[in-house]
Amino acid sequence: MTADLYLSGKVSREEAFRMTSFCSTSGPMFIIGAVGVGMLASPRAGYIILLSHILGALLNGFLYRKIKAEELSRDSFKVDKSNSDIGSLVLDSALSIISVGAIIAIFFVVITSLSPILSLLPKPIASVLAGLIEITRGCKDISLAFSSNLAICAASFVISFGGLSTMLQSLTMLSKIKMPVWLFAVQKLTHAILALIISGFLVVIF
């Protein structure tokens, strides 16, 4: 949506870069249902991770509110009407789904291939590293490697960072705005750190 808003001239490149700092988030069904209830066996854990994730995203957006980018003039943006018909939209959506599906499949193979190497490391370290590659596998490993409160904090960090798999999926879409890879990676890292800090406070309070 951010890329489409940029291409249609509704937001500038600078505004698009600001949006990516807080709009790249995980869904509540995954956080509460899959991670909280399914992996950590605790609805409390799911709600804490979700709240940390959302608050971290908002603070991250505030952190990057003055970010600068080139080509800020909206006058240079024009809507390409030739690509605005229903057929083109359906085709673009289908190609996006195929690209994302391919990335998911590739990283499933990658994380499976790396499992023997990760198994040589201490379980807490291996689980976080797995999460930095692919969040679903990482969260599952984290639930087995950490105590309850530490698992919540570790999962908050991993989910907010997104993992290389999710980041690559996002960058596939954001290539339309020529999103610098390093900038998006830094935005995701700061979001992860903020969520980790917030979750640390929340597990103490709740």
Could you read off the pLDDT of 172-198 as tens digits, one per residue?
888 878 889 999 999 999 999 999 999
Can you read off the two tokens belonging to residue 32? 């509460």
Residue 89 lies in a domain: no
User: What domain range is 155 assigned to?
Assistant: 2-70+102-205
Residue 120 lies in a domain: yes
Can you read off the two tokens belonging to residue 20? 């990516």
Average of per-residue pLDDT across 4-23: 89
Task: Tell me what percent of the residues of the chain surpass a pLDDT of 90.
Answer: 56
pLDDT of residue 80 exceeding 80: no
Residue 84 lies in a domain: no
pLDDT of residue 108 exceeding 70: yes
Average of per-residue pLDDT across 159-170: 90
Average of per-residue pLDDT across 71-87: 47
Residue 38 lies in a domain: yes
* Dihedral (Cα; 79, 68, 162, 42), 10-degree rounding: -110
Banded model confidence at residue 199, pLDDT cuts 50, 70, 90: very high
How many C-beta atoms surround the C-beta of residue 35 within 10 A? 28
Residue 90 lies in a domain: no
Please give the model's pTM, rounded to 2 decimal places.
Answer: 0.84
Residue 153 lies in a domain: yes
pLDDT of residue 110 exceeding 90: no
Residue 77 lies in a domain: no
- Structure confidence at residue 53 (pLDDT): 97
Residue 79 lies in a domain: no
- Structure confidence at residue 184 (pLDDT): 94
For the four alpha carbons of 71, 188, 1 and 93, in that order, the dihedral sign comes to: positive
Total domains in the fold of the chain:
1
Exposure string over 5-20, b if 16+ CB within 10 A, otherwise e: bbbeeebbbbbbbbbb
